[in-house]
Amino acid sequence: MDHLYTGFLHLHNTLRWIILLGALITLLKYFIGWFGQKNWEKSDNILGAVFTGLMDLQFLVGIGLYAFLSPITKAAFQDFGVAMKNADLRFYAVEHLVMMIVAISLVHIGRIKSKRATSSKAKYSAGLLFFGIAYILILAGIPWQRVIG
């Protein structure tokens, strides 16, 4: 089971960097499109779809870790009251999960709103707003102490 946990954790960590880079590219392209009053292009739609798909994949991998493989969440669920008093356990058991669920929800809302908008400006605006807030939440929800430390 340790090998499976390690593999899922490596996949989750790798996807994080791909998502951060992909989101940044998407946000930059949307900002240029919005600010430059450009027409919405097929590539803009593809970027939004890829970003959303990567978020979905990351969510599935994360749920696998959270619910089945992570020794951290297993420890947290053994005594949830104690876990809530421990900043590290609380972060993984509650804070990370909630921030990422909100972020993925915002990505899906942004994707839907940008697809349904009738003007290019509205498409870019929806993508920028919802993807941008999601990006901030993703950054806030990353366990930087483990990434950098």
What pLDDT digit, counting tens, does each position of 81-136 carry?
999 999 999 999 999 999 999 999 999 999 999 999 999 999 999 999 999 999 99
Which amino acid appears at position 44 of this protein? D
Predicted structure pTM score: 0.94
Q: State in Å, rounded, how far the first CA of the chain is from the last one.
A: 25
Half-sphere exposure of 1 (CA within 13 A, CB side): 6
Q: Supply 24's token pair.
A: 């940044």
Say how far apart CA 42 and CA 40 lie, in whole Å. Answer: 7
Nearest to 104 by CA among 60, 43, 64: 60
At 132 the pLDDT is: 98
Say how far apart CA 48 and CA 50 lie, in whole Å. Answer: 6
At 42 the pLDDT is: 97
SS3 96: helix
Nearest to 101 by CA among 131, 138, 70, 65: 138
